[in-house]
Amino acid sequence: MIWPWLWSWILARLLIGVRRAGCVIHADRVEWDQGLIDRLDLALNESTVCGLRYDAERGQARLLVEVEALPEVGSIDRDPRRAIVLSSVESIEVTVRRDRVGGYGPVLPLGSLDDLEQFFAGLSWAHPMYGWEFVDVSDPGPAWRVEPSLRVRHGGGVATHSLRWFTECSSAGGASEPGSYVLQGVVWFAELRIERADGSSLPLERFLADGARWWKAFRQGDSRLSVKGQREAASASLRWRHWSASSSVIVRAGERDD
Domain contains 178: yes
Buried (b) or exposed (e) across 199-233, using 16+ Cβ within 10 A? eeebebbebbbbbbbbbbbbbeeeebbbeebbeeb
Domain contains 196: yes
Residue 3 has pLDDT above 50, yes or no: no
Domain contains 246: no
Residue 230 has pLDDT above 70, yes or no: yes
The predicted model scores a pTM of: 0.87
Angle between helices 204-219 and 34-44 (to 10 degrees): 60
H helix or E strand, kind and range, residue 212: helix 204-219
**Percent above pLDDT 70 for the chain:** 84
- Tell me the mean pLDDT in the region 55-67: 96
Domain contains 248: no
Number of domains the chain is built from: 1
Q: Which domain range does residue 113 map to?
A: 6-235
**Are the C-beta atoms of residues 128 and 183 closer than 8 Å to each other?**
no
**Confidence (pLDDT) at 255:** 78
What SS3 class is residue 189? strand
**Confidence (pLDDT) at 23:** 37
Mean pLDDT for the chain? Answer: 87
Domain contains 245: no
DSSP state of 30: B
Distance CA 234, CA 111 (A): 34
Residue 202 has pLDDT above 90, yes or no: yes
DSSP state of 142: G
Residues whose CB falls within 8 Å of the CB of residue 238, separated by 6 or more in sequence, listed in order: 78, 79, 80, 81, 197
**Are the C-beta atoms of residues 167 and 50 closer than 8 Å to each other?**
no
246 band by pLDDT with thresholds 50, 70 and 90? low
**Are the C-beta atoms of residues 13 and 38 closer than 8 Å to each other?**
yes
What SS3 class is residue 112? coil
**Confidence (pLDDT) at 252:** 82
Domain contains 143: yes
What SS3 class is residue 6? helix
Phi-psi region of 174 (alpha: psi -120 to 50; beta: other; left: phi over 0): left
**Confidence (pLDDT) at 209:** 98
pLDDT tens-digit map of 98-141:
998 888 999 999 999 999 999 999 999 999 999 999 999 999 99
1 band by pLDDT with thresholds 50, 70 and 90? very low
Return phi, psi of residue 34, to 5°: -65, -30
**Are the C-beta atoms of residues 253 and 2 closer than 8 Å to each other?**
yes
Lowest mean pLDDT among 88-97, 175-184, 188-197, 238-247: 238-247
Domain contains 240: no
244 band by pLDDT with thresholds 50, 70 and 90? low
Domain contains 242: no
pLDDT tens-digit map of 10-58:
544 544 443 333 334 544 567 899 999 999 999 999 999 999 999 999 9
Other Cβ atoms less than 10 A from the Cβ of 29: the count is: 9
**Are the C-beta atoms of residues 23 and 31 closer than 8 Å to each other?**
yes
pLDDT tens-digit map of 204-222:
999 999 999 999 999 999 9
**Confidence (pLDDT) at 175:** 58
Residue 176 has pLDDT above 80, yes or no: no
Residue 152 has pLDDT above 50, yes or no: yes
What SS3 class is residue 204? helix
- Tell me the mean pLDDT in the region 189-217: 97
